[in-house]
Chains A and B, each alone.
Chain A
Amino acid sequence: MRILAVAALVALAIAPWALARYQLSILTDLLIFGLFALSLDLILGYTGMVSFGHAAYFGLGAYGSALVLINFAQPIPVALLAGALLAGAVALPIGWFSTRATGIYFAMLTLAFAQLLYTVAYKWRDLTGGSDGIAGVPKTALYWGGPSLASAQAFYFVVATCVVLSLVLCRAFVHSPFGRALQAIRENERRFTSLGRDPRPFKLVVVVVAAVFAGLAGALFAPFRGFASPEVMFWVMSGQGLMMVITGGIGTLIGPIVGAMVFILIQEVASSYTEHWMIFSGAIFVLMVIFLPGGLVGTARRLAIRG
């Protein structure tokens, strides 16, 4: 396992020199969505809560970062912070209400709130640009007066660093006493309660933490792609996040990142053949849920233990 991790890090490090520009661009995209999927795994894989609205936090991060970059021309890290914090701040009240409901009600509420945010983004033309979104988001500098991050390589490094750091932080998070408690909630919430704690505060914290990481991913997305639009908050996007996590392997952290990459690559290939690749994505997803619930990484681990 360690060897794979080191190899992956090395590969990430030398990528700007090894890959062509457009390939590097794709890799950057994959990493951003990998982070998005990673954040969702905290809720889905470790705490056992299904969220149909996680894309809303991604979107909030994108809008937050876009607005900061366009209106205040701040360095990228400031924009990232703005996006991540905005997502976390909105997650607090939404999470508070949502976690008052359990299980299925929670899932329904995540969708309801996300659609609410989507509608706000769609209608509030003055702030968000409405259905057109915000375009022309620049890649600014690393810090005030610092080097520009406009080049593909430079921005790639920002993204890769953020993703690797996030993965490290999330790993520490899930192995901490708090993270262990989350897993117990996932396994048997009733037992958890009768063992001495109310699960709600735990759920609220993980929702906010996951939102912050999703917001970070969104905040990277806006300058990378150069725009922020309501589509990134749409339920379809949340669904794609779920598919990425399931494909890669729920509850494994690295799995969702892998899943995101596989999913997007499949999407790229499929969409070149047909405009309706979503049917195939959906079908593959349904098949995975039935036959391979552990996802790619989960199944690989199981096979590794057996073999």
Chain B
Amino acid sequence: MSNLVEQLLNALALAGLLFLVSAGLSLVFGILRVVNFAHGVFYMLGAYLGFTSVAISGYFWPSLIVVPPVVGLVGALLEASTLRFIYRRPPIYQLLLTFGLALILEESIRVLYGNTAKGIDPPPLLDGSLDLAGIIYPRYRLFVIVLGLAVGCAVWLFLTRTRAGLVTRAVAQNSEMADCLGADVARVRTLVFGAACALAGLGGVAAAPMTTAYLGMGISVIVDAFVVVVIGGLGSIPGSMAGSLIVGAAQTWGAFYLPETAMVIMYAVMGAILIFRPWGLFGEEE
């Protein structure tokens, strides 16, 4: 029984990280209609910058707050200098461009940090384990679960309850109209892109104490995020949540019961979705 709860918590922790990444991916698609291939690399950037930040300051909490905006800024700058010019082109080009950006960023990180993985220690508050009614569970993972939930709610509230969120959704639905009505469409796009990258960066900082910062993490997480949005549906935050939970669960239980073939379960679920509902659980039927 305790095993099951532990598994569940592991799945939730993994889902939390996946959600942070795939929510950003989904947002960028929902609002800019672009799939940001470089999204995983921003996650990785967050992890590495988190490492640097902790190494310099010695503290984890400030890093958690400082690093995401920095990553967001990098993303916003890249969007404003490259992606902005090709929005009117067929989607193929936007996809290829973000792919090129991913390559540049990934290699840049390698230049700056080298090939070895960088570890971060969790802060004292989150170190060690908690006793939850007889189950010993790492505090840090609980933190990740809470973080994922909190961010999910925050994003949802922002989009549905705030004025800025309304403008953002307006731009997503009909950018020309929003433009006529006074919204600065280009600025909204840059901000959304930056915000999504910041979310990914946050995911990276949060992940680093659990997984260490390593060079393969960008591609690994983007593949997972892709599977999440295929299952959940692009452009939908609830979809990202559902997809993250499913993938998190599949990977966790798969790793436990069928270690070598854990990945296969995830692909099997994805395959089933593709057969019965190719636009994802919460996606829009084309």
Contact = CB atoms under 8 A, between A and B. Distances in A.
B95 A104 contact: yes
B275 A286 contact: no
Given A52-B37, A112-B270, A279-B111, A103 B91 contact: yes
B230 A123 contact: no
A282 interface: yes
Nearest to A108: B226
B87 to A, nearest CB: 11
Contact of B93 (A101, A276, A289): A289
A101 B96 contact: no
B253 interface: no
A13 B104 CA distance: 38
B267 A116 contact: yes
A283 B81 CA distance: 12
Interface string B254-271: 000000100100010011
Nearest to A189: B286
A107 B80 CA distance: 24
Contacts of B210: none
Determine which residue in B100, B104, B222 has the highest number of CB atoms from chain A within 10 A of its CB, and name it. B100
Contacts of A104: 29, 35, 91, 95, 234
A289 B100 contact: yes
Contact of B103 (A97, A112, A246, A278): A278
Interface string A24-51: 0000000000000000000010001010
Contacts of A58: none
A104 B107 CA distance: 25
Interface in A106-126: 107-109, 111-113, 115-116, 119, 123
Dominant secondary structure of chain B at its interface with chain A:
helix
A285 B91 contact: no
B278 A290 contact: no
B185 to A, nearest CB: 19
Nearest to B95: A50
A242 interface: yes
A279 B267 contact: no
A100 B97 contact: no
Contacts of B110: 276
A276 B107 contact: yes
B99 interface: yes
Interface residues of B, number: 42
A248 to B, nearest CB: 14
Contacts of A278: 103-104, 107
A16 interface: no
A282 B96 contact: no
Given A101-B274, A102-B278, A108-B230, A50 B286 contact: no
A286 B100 contact: yes
A289 B99 CA distance: 11
Interface of B: 29, 35, 37, 82, 85-86, 89-93, 95-97, 99-101, 103-104, 107-108, 110-111, 219, 222-223, 226-227, 229-230, 234, 260, 263, 267, 270-271, 274-275, 278-280, 286
Interface of A: 44, 48, 50, 52, 97, 100-105, 107-109, 111-113, 115-116, 119, 123, 235-236, 239, 242-243, 246, 276, 278-279, 281-283, 285-286, 289-290, 293
21 contacts: A48-B90, A50-B95, A52-B99, A100-B275, A104-B29, A104-B234, A105-B280, A107-B35, A108-B35, A112-B223, A112-B226, A235-B219, A236-B103, A239-B99, A246-B96, A279-B103, A279-B107, A282-B101, A286-B104, A289-B86, A293-B93
